[in-house]
Amino acid sequence: MKSSAKFLLLFIITLSLGSCQPTTNDSRKGILYTSGGKTSEILVVISDGLWQSSVGDSIKAAFQDVKPWLAQPEPSYDLMRINYAAFQDMFPKYRNIIIVKISSDIYENKFKALKNAHSNPQTLIEFQCKTKQDFFEMLSNKAEGIGAIFHRNELYRIKTAYKGINVDSLTRKIYQKFGFKMVFPRGFYLYKDGSDFAWIHKVVRNEIEEGFLIYTKPYSDTMDFDYKNIINYRNQITKKYVPGPLPGSYMKVSSIFPPYYESTEFHGRYATLLRSWWDVEGYPMGGPFLSYTFVDTVANRLITIDGYIKAFKKEKRDLLLHLESIMDSFEMDEE
């Protein structure tokens, strides 16, 4: 299932963010605080009346949608709501903020997007509208792009934290094998090493497994980016390298859950992003995964970086963010 033109929305809002970018939150001290808030949380500053009306319902619908690649219902974001008077002390330092003001006294409808106004990383969004209908229309046009910017905030925060606990030896091994670098936080190790293949994972208390499958092959043509071909090749790789708990069992892409894919960009390279569900042939086990497939034009090879989660009866939304943030640390020399 292919996504629509959310990149245009993201581009427009990014321009807006760049056009109004304070560098500090304390002009006397020149300090920019580290932003706060839980992972995947949005602070909504709005009056009690508006929150309890259709305005609040529309905000919940826009930012608490459930992504189809998660088998269990988890909202995209958790919403924390406060009124205007409470927006002081620690609250202006939250990472993702939406302020909504609707009043007939407002002269002109306005949409503001501020980057790092009070902390870093931070995006502060403000809606000033004359009527509820004006707000509904503005939110409809902006919500997807706002969500994408908030998502980037989450990835940046996690990626920055992981740099401080990077397993340098693993980064070196991946660079020596594939020619690119990734930041893997403490706990990850190279579990299996094959020809043009690496399996990296981390297990937490035998309850949660976060893993990466990295593999390459010679690039043929643009059909290599077709999601069906990506799935077929993934199944070939996992059948060869990723066995299940029983003889003859192995990891594969689920045939029950529909794949969600889109043409996108991965660190300046054209790529296919695939999200779906993996399971095990002959054994009741599964979980979500996402992958980026792109071309190294210098070596004329197709590279796939695939991250998966195994966490039975555990929430997986934020675990997937951990994988994405590690993928976002990708670096490869152009020569």
Residue-by-residue pLDDT tens, the chain, 335 positions: 444 334 444 444 443 444 333 333 443 455 678 899 999 999 999 999 999 999 999 999 999 998 888 877 899 999 999 999 999 999 999 999 999 999 999 999 999 999 999 999 999 999 999 999 999 999 999 999 999 999 999 999 999 999 999 999 999 999 999 999 999 999 999 999 998 999 999 998 888 999 999 999 999 999 999 999 999 999 999 999 999 999 999 999 999 989 999 999 999 999 999 999 999 998 989 999 999 999 999 999 999 999 999 998 889 999 999 999 999 999 998 65
pLDDT of residue 55: 97
* Residues 214 and 322 occupy one common structural domain: yes
172 vs 123: CA distance, rounded Å = 34
Q: Which domain holds residue 193?
A: 166-332
pLDDT of residue 33: 85
Q: Is residue 287 part of a domain?
A: yes
* Residues 54 and 130 occupy one common structural domain: yes
* Residues 96 and 181 occupy one common structural domain: no
Region for 89 from its dihedrals, namely left if φ exceeds 0, alpha if ψ lies in -120 to 50, beta otherwise = left
169 vs 139: CA distance, rounded Å = 46
- CATH of residue 294's domain is 3.40.1000.10
For 12-58, write each residue's pLDDT tens digit.
444 344 433 333 344 345 567 889 999 999 999 999 999 999 999 99
* Domain end call among 108, 142, 162: 162
* Residues 100 and 212 occupy one common structural domain: no
Q: Characterize the bridge pairing of strands 260-266 and 269-280.
A: antiparallel
Alpha-helical (H) ranges within the chain are 6-19, 48-51, 54-63, 132-163, 168-178, 227-241, 317-327
> What pTM, to 2 d.p., does this model score?
0.86
Q: Is residue 36 part of a domain?
A: yes
Q: How many domains does the chain have?
A: 2
pLDDT of residue 333: 80
> Where in the chain does DSSP place strands (E)?
33-34, 41-45, 78-82, 96-102, 110-115, 119-120, 123-129, 180-181, 189-194, 197-204, 208-218, 251-253, 260-266, 269-280, 283-296, 301-310, 331-332
* Residues 179 and 319 occupy one common structural domain: yes
> Helices 6-19 and 132-163: crossing angle, nearest 10°?
80
Q: Is residue 1 part of a domain?
A: no
pLDDT of residue 27: 37
* Domain end call among 106, 127, 162: 162
Q: Is residue 311 part of a domain?
A: yes
* Residues 314 and 194 occupy one common structural domain: yes
Residue corresponding to tokens 């192995």: 250
